[in-house]
Amino acid sequence: MTILVPITLFGWVPCVLLLFMWLPPRRAVVTAFMAGWLFLPAATFDLPGLPDYSKMAATCAGILLAAMVFDIDALLSIRPRWIDLPIVIWCFMPFVTNSVEGIDMYDSLSWSVNRCITWGMPYFIGRVYFTDAEALKELAFGFVIGALIYIPICWFEIRMSPQISKFLYGVEGGFSGTRLGGWRPQGLMASGLMLGMWMTSASILGIWMWFTGALKKIGKRDSGWMIFALFVTTIFCKSTGAIVLMMAGLGCLFAIRKLGRATPIVFLCVPTVVYPMLRAGSYWDGMQMVHIAESTVGRERAQSLEFRLQNEDILSTKALQRYWWGWGRFGRSRVLNEYGKDISTTDGEWIIALGESGVIGLAAVTMIYILPPIRLWWRLKGPLWSDPSFAAICAFAVILTLYSIDNILNAMLNPVITAVIGGVSGAVLRPVFAKPEPMEAFEAALPLQKTGPRRALWPPQPAGARSGATTSV
């Protein structure tokens, strides 16, 4: 670890303050999220008496502090709604779990603070700054630009191996070996799997926004070739699961366009709900997936999947001994042999949530991801998913379902995606207005809320009406 690690991590908060001085708040938030998450080192500092200071904490805390200094009215404008209930349960459930298990209040507070930093802060930022169609379009534009900037990094590591983190910060990255004649890149993220999902998300956003006409140019240049380069780079990141999910996400969006109904996104939500029920209930051993993996991606990958399934079996058996509230932290949900040695490995977010927080925690973390897409499906008519005005929010909704599927086998937390969850959660509560036909006047696609003034998801609010927001990307 070089001196650049503490300089960049602890110096990031002043940089975000400067961004808020130079840019409109929403654009400053997008820039801070992308630059922080893509380029800060994946390192953690233990601070006595305080939560660990990491890349996640620096990215989110810097934005919140700058917002409190320069845009406090926006923070105070947010009101809790029913759709925020899953994130609230997830962040404060440690108090219930530890109370049932008889663990002291200090650990409950520490655990809850950790979840508020990693889940609550980015979600809250999304609820503040990205809760209409135009704001989500701006976030999507920043997402795509960040991925385009990452293309040279990806190709360098494909050729030279994951070395950028070591060169810049002296931090060793993950080592995944060669695949298909090259290395799997990692960039400055925690793993190649995380980078693969990031590039997959950006490709889905770029392709769908370009196809619908929402993103025809980047600067003064046509975006088509840039999006194509992004798609090719995503393929060569060699993350098999991410590539499969990218094809599934694009297939879902184009199926919605073809059918004129948004039902396909409901089918994307099914695995996230059904898989934990089948596996935890011992209704399915998952060996069919192993056979498919062996015939498609090779025996080595199939053995890795089989190992995960075996660990899920023993972990779920123990987790269900504390069915409702879970075992809590510090490895209490892990499986030990007769000598007290840990013989289990946790990979998927669902099995971690089930073991630590029980069925209630698993339900909460599942609904965090899939409730906003389901709400959008319920409120937005199928033909409008292809409207340029709604391209970004619809692509984001599909991406959230893909992350929920990916977390069946992995546990990768991305604050930008959590901010997207917050943004889409707020947006789907607003009255939706759109053009059913190009030459007809605007008409309400949904009735107004019965109580209180509400901003529309579309058209966007006037420029400068809130938080210095811009009305176009």
| Res. 408: pLDDT tops 80 | yes
| Res. 85: pLDDT tops 80 | yes
Q: What is the pLDDT of residues 159-215, one digit of tens each?
A: 888 888 888 888 776 555 566 667 889 988 888 889 999 999 999 999 999 999 999
Mean pLDDT of 108-128: 94
Q: What is the pLDDT of residues 242-295, one digit of tens each?
A: 999 999 999 999 999 999 999 999 999 999 999 999 999 889 988 998 888 888
State the amino acid at position 427 in one-letter form: A
CA gap 300, 281 in Å, rounded:
27
Q: What is the pLDDT of residues 330-350, one digit of tens each?
A: 888 999 888 888 888 888 999
Which of 206-210, 323-327, 454-458 shows the highest mean pLDDT? 206-210
Q: Of 378 and 454, which is predicted with more confidence? A: 378
> What local confidence, expressed as pLDDT, does residue 178 receive?
61
Task: Collapse the DSSP code of 32 into the 3-class scheme (helix H, G, I; strand E, B; otherwise coil) and give the result.
Answer: helix
Residue position matching structure tokens 């901010």: 419
Weakest-pLDDT range from 81-85, 291-295, 370-374: 291-295
Judge if pTM exceeds 0.85.
yes
Please state, rounded to an integer, the average pLDDT across all residues of the chain: 87
| Res. 27: pLDDT tops 60 | yes
CA gap 412, 197 in Å, rounded:
9
Q: Which of 153, 177, 246 is nearest to 208 (CA)?
A: 246
The torsion angles phi and psi of 217, rounded to 5 degrees, stand at -130, 145
> What local confidence, expressed as pLDDT, does residue 421 receive?
97
> What local confidence, expressed as pLDDT, does residue 258 receive?
94
Residue position matching structure tokens 């947010």: 78
> What local confidence, expressed as pLDDT, does residue 106 receive?
83
| Res. 399: pLDDT tops 60 | yes
> What local confidence, expressed as pLDDT, does residue 377 receive?
95
> What local confidence, expressed as pLDDT, does residue 412 receive?
87
| Res. 240: pLDDT tops 90 | no
Per-residue HEC secondary structure of 42-102 comes to CCEECCCCCCCEEHHHHHHHHHHHHHHHHCHHHHHCCCCCHHHHHHHHHHHHHHHHHHHHC
| Res. 437: pLDDT tops 80 | no
Q: Model confidence at 469, in pLDDT bands (50, 70, 90)?
A: very low
> What local confidence, expressed as pLDDT, does residue 162 receive?
87
> What local confidence, expressed as pLDDT, does residue 46 receive?
85
Q: H or E segment at 444?
A: strand 443-444
In Å, what is the CA distance from 92 to each residue of 86, 122, 153, 251, 423? Answer: 10, 16, 39, 37, 21
> What local confidence, expressed as pLDDT, does residue 447 receive?
42
Q: Which of 351, 347, 374 is nearest to 270 (CA)?
A: 374
How is the chain split into domains, by residue range? Answer: 1-77
Mean pLDDT of 210-227: 91
Percent pLDDT > 70 in the chain is: 89
Interacting residues of 341 by C-beta distance below 8 A, sequence separation 6+: none
> What local confidence, expressed as pLDDT, does residue 432 receive?
56
Q: How many CA atoms are closer than 13 Å to the CA of 34, on its beta-carbon side?
A: 22
Contact assessment for residue 427 and residue 457, using Cβ atoms and an 8 Å cutoff: yes
Q: Give how far the C-alpha of residue 394 lies from the chain's centroid of Cα atoms, to the nearest Å.
A: 15
| Res. 415: pLDDT tops 90 | yes
